[in-house]
Amino acid sequence: MKFFVDTADIADIKELSEAGLIDGVTTNPSLIMKANRPMTEIIADICKVTDGPVSAEVAATDAAEMIREGKVLAAIADNVCIKLPLTLDGLKACKHLTDEGHQTNVTLCFSATQALLAAKAGATYVSPFIGRLDDINIDGMQLIADIRRIFDNYEFDTQILAASIRTLNHVREAALIGADVATVPPATLRSLVKHPLTDKGLETFLADWKKTGQTI
Ligand code: G3P
């Protein structure tokens, strides 16, 4: 499973990229707002610190404008992936932009039938939102499982980009189901490394090693 980091914070992206932990980046208008800088500058800077796909979301809601904005974003760098909302106009724009050779990420997906349409529109990625479904007591992981089964039934190339990830279990279950990518907030990504027994075991090893008086 590939890991993307879900942020527009350059410092986080740089650190995680240098650690070899991420295969790409996803942003959205809310994350761009938090970064409080011009979007084109942020996306350009992110594309310089990672070779992987960098999702940049259009703001328009009609297909023609989505296509125009998508091309503006794609012109920033070769690894820009154009992010489009899962609406009828978003699917139209997805088909057009994908047919022209651009990477596309259809986002705000909350049902398996929506994901099926995104695949038919040729989306490179579809982003089903796990956490936001859990927030309203609908099983977000079941959506990932349903999409995986449907995509496998018809051998769609569209990659499942598990999104709105809040916990380590979301990452674990998405991997068990076979999501192609998980996009994870920086703090959650860092927490994947941690386990109390690892820390405890290392502490014991170091204490015992010190007692040997040896050096390597
Ligand atoms: O960026 C797409 C998605 O990961 C956003 O998730 O946490 O805003 O529900 P969230």
Per residue in 102-123, pLDDT (tens digit) is 999 999 999 999 999 999 999 9
Residue 191 confidence (pLDDT): 95
Average pLDDT over residues 52-61: 98
pLDDT of residue 117: 98
Cα(31) to centroid(ligand 1), Å = 9
Residue recorded with tokens 């529109």: 121
Please state the pTM of the whole predicted model: 0.95
Report the 10 Å Cβ neighbour count for 132.
Answer: 15
Q: How far apart are CA 146 and CA 63, in angstroms?
A: 28
Nearest 10 degrees: CA dihedral of 87, 91, 93, 99? Answer: 170
**What amino acid positions are annotated as catalytic residues?**
83
Cβ–ligand 1 contact at 129 (below 6 Å)? yes
Q: How far apart are the first and last CA of the chain?
A: 36
What are 140-175's pLDDT values in tens digits? 999 999 999 999 999 999 999 999 999 999 999 999
pLDDT score at 70: 98
Element at 108 (helix H, strand E): strand 104-109
Look up the CATH number of the domain holding residue 125: 3.20.20.70
- Cα-flanking dihedrals φ and ψ of residue 81, to 5°? -115, 125
pLDDT above 90 as % of the chain = 100
Q: How many domains does the chain have?
A: 1
Q: Which of these, 53, 74, 58, lies nearest to 125 by C-alpha position? A: 53
Q: Which domain does 17 fall in, by range? A: 2-212
Say what the pLDDT of residue 34 is: 96
Q: Are 147 and 126 in contact (CB under 8 A)?
A: yes
Residue of 177, 165, 198 whose CA lies nearest to 3: 165
Residue labelled with tokens 């499982």: 145
Across the range 80-89, mean pLDDT stands at 98
Banded model confidence at residue 44, pLDDT cuts 50, 70, 90: very high
* Pocket lining: 183 vs ligand 1, CB cutoff 6 Å: yes
CA of 26 to the centre of ligand 1 (A): 9
